[in-house]
Amino acid sequence: MRIAVIDYDKCNPDKCGHFLCERVCPVNRMGGEAIIIDEENYRPIIQEASCTGCGICVHKCPFNAITIINLPEELEEGCVHRYGVNAFVLYRLPVVKDGMVVGILGPNGTGKTTAVKILAGQLLPNLCGDNDSWDNVIRAFRGNELQNYFERLKNGEIRPVVKPQYVDLIPKAVKGKVRDLLKRADEIGAFDKVVDELELRNVLDRNIDQLSGGELQRVAIAAALLRNAHFYFFDEPSSYLDIRQRLKVAKIIRHLADSGKAVLTVEHDLAVLDYLSDIIHVVYGKPGAYGIFSQPKGTRNGINEFLRGYLRDENVRFRPYEIRFTKSSERQSQASEILVEYPRLVKDYGGFRLEAEPGTLYMGEVVSIVGPNGIGKTTFVKMLAGVEKPTEGEVDWELKVSYKPQYIKADYEGTVYDLLSKIDASKLLSNFYKTELLNPLGIPDLYDKQVNELSGGELQRVAITAALIRDADLYLLDEPSAYLDVEQRLAVSRAIRHLMEKEGKTALVVEHDVLMIDYISDRIMVFEGEPGKYGKALPPTGMREGMNRFLASVGVTFRRDPDTGRPRANKEGSVKDREQKEMGEYYYV
């Protein structure tokens, strides 16, 4: 079975020399019609039945607009939805089960939202043909666990509730005070309980448009929890939250399933997904072209297969490399030579005061910065970057610093290529940078795009790239994982590690994703205090000491997965959790 997908946003028939694909196609040259021209819309159409899959058009198209893939025949039956001719195709769906959290893991653009719209009854799947009724969908899923679900959905017996992905859009759609919004949502009489669990008491009288990202996220989760539904979908519940809040939210969502509800969640923070889910589906394919839901897998095994890039039951390798974690609690730091010793630094904003103890940074090391939101992490990084002037102490060094802020502005006039080539054109040609950074982050595909038209995730990848190709001694990266999907997070983590190791440079990275922190860090800097009032930055220390101190304040213990070495949060009160807490070893034993 062969599918052909054309990305019409990239296709530009005038710039390729007038339908180059049609002219080079051997079937067309022999008088056949594998590619025809849709004159009305001025674009090519590939007729899959006539195409031989030779791939010539794929390689010749200057804009990488064409994807041709051969897929196993047995997938044909699992074809759920196709958005149109030569458009994205979705194969198979995740299961939905009462009393279970089903996690979905995979890159963006592979059909997760499409699947959820179908399960929520908002999109009637066309079954890759011209289906126009739910009865046919029920028939197509006969014998499948979803048959009964679709029957109930058709009969109006399923009420879905969705916590949307982009919580920053909520203030555009909803006005008024948090209290009123949550009161309106409350169908189960649990207003006080949910407000307290999600720590929203002190924002109840604020207007929706005055909330920070993390507050909006918790309000959106609270609004979903307060509904009386059958099927709950949480799309990326961890965005904007710090580690403690992430695990807390995970626990609350778990309780929802324990009370008998069916829960589906998409989550890119693997430690959170692991903690949340009873089973998971890996979605693989090619973003924008096709997506396939794997069979349901046990959470531990599914995440391990994902990190290996190989799905055993499906016999599919979907990534050329594995992600492996250092199994010892402390990396043997190669760092020896001191890069800089910074002094005690204080920033006093009036309402908030940060005190950073003096510390040392070594060459060739990556140091993570962890702590709750509002504790001064960004403020500290800004002082090192020279963006904020300390109230006490001075940053007077000769170091070259490259800084990626937390909030990135897209106010550059010009293309991605212009922006990056002005920073260092030679790095764009370097094989090392291509292999380690540019290709894994999908940057060449963005070269022709205007910077001010990029999506959040695209802008983040460009900003990280811009920071990392700049020649500097110290790289400051504030929340590089924000807006990135799980695959991109792995790619960014690998790039940061490899570049610092190879070039002997130093990076300071503010991060909330525990797997990323574990993967990239030689050492760690812990921030403590009272969010919004005062913060104290401890000097960089070893991973074990730092994580122990930090996790003790969060009250969560982690163990290592014996196969991949990845950190796994222990369930609260489990034997391991109790043992580790007794020993004071919150991060591995």
Residues that bind ligand SF4 (CB under 6 A): 6, 11-13, 16, 19-21, 25-27, 34-35, 44, 46, 51-57, 61, 63, 65-66, 68
**Per-residue tokens: 438:** 């540019």
Indicate the residue among 44 and 364 with the shorter CB distance to ligand ADP: 44
Q: Which does 87 bind (CB under 5 to 8 A by kind): ligand ADP, ligand SF4, none?
A: ligand ADP
State the nearest-atom distance from the C-beta of 399 to ligand SF4, in Å. 45
Q: Is 285 in the site for ligand ADP (CB under 6 A)?
A: no
State the nearest-atom distance from the C-beta of 145 to ligand SF4, in Å. 37
Indicate the residue among 42 and 349 with the shorter CB distance to ligand SF4: 42
Q: Which of residues 174-193 bind ligand ADP (CB under 6 A)?
A: none
Indicate the residue among 89 and 138 with the shorter CB distance to ligand SF4: 89
Q: Is 378 in the site for ligand ADP (CB under 6 A)?
A: yes
State the nearest-atom distance from the C-beta of 543 to ligand ADP, in Å. 20
Q: Which of 114, 368, 481, 506 binds ligand ADP (CB under 6 A)?
A: 114
Give first-to-last CA distance, the chain, whole Å: 50
Per the CB < 8 A criterion, the answer to whether 19 and 62 are in contact is: no
Q: Which does 532 bind (CB under 5 to 8 A by kind): ligand SF4, ligand ADP, none?
A: ligand ADP
Q: Which does 310 bind (CB under 5 to 8 A by kind): ligand SF4, ligand ADP, none?
A: none
Per the CB < 8 A criterion, the answer to whether 56 and 26 are in contact is: yes
Total number of residues that touch ligand ADP (CB under 6 A): 24
State the nearest-atom distance from the C-beta of 211 to ligand ADP, in Å. 13
Q: Is 349 in the site for ligand ADP (CB under 6 A)?
A: yes
- Rounded CA-CA distance 534/528 in Å is 8
Task: Name residue 234's amino acid.
Answer: F
Q: Which of 217, 277, 368, 373 binds ligand ADP (CB under 6 A)?
A: 373
Indicate the residue among 30 and 173 with the shorter CB distance to ligand SF4: 30
Q: Which long-range contacts (CB under 8 A, 24 or more apart) does 174-179 make?
A: 174/208, 175/207, 175/208, 175/209, 176/207, 176/208, 177/204, 177/205, 177/206, 177/207, 177/208, 178/203, 178/204, 178/205, 178/206, 178/207, 178/208, 178/211, 178/219, 179/204, 179/205
Indicate the residue among 116 and 323 with the shorter CB distance to ligand ADP: 116
Give the alpha-carbon dihedral of 481, 432, 566, 526, to 10 degrees: -50
Q: Is 164 in the site for ligand ADP (CB under 6 A)?
A: no
| DSSP-assigned beta bridge partners for residue 542 | 523
State the nearest-atom distance from the C-beta of 19 to ligand SF4, in Å. 5
- Rounded CA-CA distance 276/360 in Å is 37
Per the CB < 8 A criterion, the answer to whether 162 and 120 are in contact is: yes
| DSSP assignments along 249-302, one per residue | HHHHHHHHHHTT-EEEEE-S-HHHHHHH-SEEEEEEEETTTEEEEPPPEEHHHH
Phi first, then psi, for residue 219 (nearest 5°) are: -65, -40
- Rounded CA-CA distance 268/478 in Å is 18
Indicate the residue among 37 and 410 with the shorter CB distance to ligand SF4: 37
Indicate the residue among 113 and 415 with the shorter CB distance to ligand ADP: 113
Q: Is 288 in the site for ligand ADP (CB under 6 A)?
A: yes
- Rounded CA-CA distance 196/201 in Å is 6
Per the CB < 8 A criterion, the answer to whether 139 and 146 are in contact is: no
Structural element, H or E, at residue 217: helix 213-225
State the nearest-atom distance from the C-beta of 350 to ligand ADP, in Å. 7
Q: Which of 113, 333, 391, 430 binds ligand ADP (CB under 6 A)?
A: 113
Q: Is 553 in the site for ligand ADP (CB under 6 A)?
A: no
- Site mask for ligand ADP (CB under 6 A), range 32-71, x = bound: ----------------------------------------
Q: Which of 88, 234, 275, 318 binds ligand ADP (CB under 6 A)?
A: 88
Stretch that binds ligand ADP, among 146-154, 271-279, 345-353, 548-556 (CB under 6 A): 345-353
Indicate the residue among 217 and 564 with the shorter CB distance to ligand ADP: 217
- Rounded CA-CA distance 264/232 in Å is 6
Please give the sequence-ordered ranges of beta strands (E in DSSP) within 343-473, or none if there are none.
Answer: 345-348, 353-356, 359-362, 366-370, 401-404
- Rounded CA-CA distance 241/411 in Å is 26
Q: Is 488 in the site for ligand ADP (CB under 6 A)?
A: no
Q: Which does 480 bind (CB under 5 to 8 A by kind): ligand SF4, ligand ADP, none?
A: none
User: Would you call 261 helix, strand, or coil by DSSP?
Assistant: coil
Task: Name residue 270's amino acid.
Answer: L
Indicate the residue among 66 and 383 with the shorter CB distance to ligand SF4: 66
State the nearest-atom distance from the C-beta of 1 to ligand SF4, in Å. 14
- Rounded CA-CA distance 182/162 in Å is 15
Q: Which does 44 bind (CB under 5 to 8 A by kind): ligand SF4, ligand ADP, none?
A: ligand SF4
Give the alpha-carbon dihedral of 297, 300, 302, 306, to 10 degrees: 180
Phi first, then psi, for residue 253 (nearest 5°) are: -65, -35
Q: Is 375 in the site for ligand ADP (CB under 6 A)?
A: yes
State the nearest-atom distance from the C-beta of 88 to ligand ADP, in Å. 4
Q: Which of residues 501-540 bind ligand ADP (CB under 6 A)?
A: 532
Indicate the residue among 57 and 354 with the shorter CB distance to ligand SF4: 57
Indicate the residue among 125 and 364 with the shorter CB distance to ligand ADP: 125
- Between the alpha carbon of residue 525 and those of residues 18, 79, 517, the distances in Å are 56, 49, 11
Stretch that binds ligand ADP, among 330-338, 344-352, 394-402, 493-501 (CB under 6 A): 344-352
**Per-residue tokens: 333:** 């730091």
**Residue 555: which of 588, 518, 522, 580 has the closest Cα?**
580
**Per-residue tokens: 45:** 């159409």
Indicate the residue among 63 and 417 with the shorter CB distance to ligand SF4: 63
Q: Which of 28, 67, 86, 110 binds ligand ADP (CB under 6 A)?
A: 110
**Per-residue tokens: 578:** 């109790």
Work out whether strand 558-560 and strand 541-542 pair parallel, antiparallel, or are unpaired. unpaired
Q: Which does 65 bind (CB under 5 to 8 A by kind): ligand ADP, ligand SF4, none?
A: ligand SF4
Residue 274: CB atoms within 10 A of its CB come to 24
Binding site for ligand ADP (CB under 6 A): 83, 87-88, 108-114, 287-288, 349, 351-352, 371, 373-379, 532
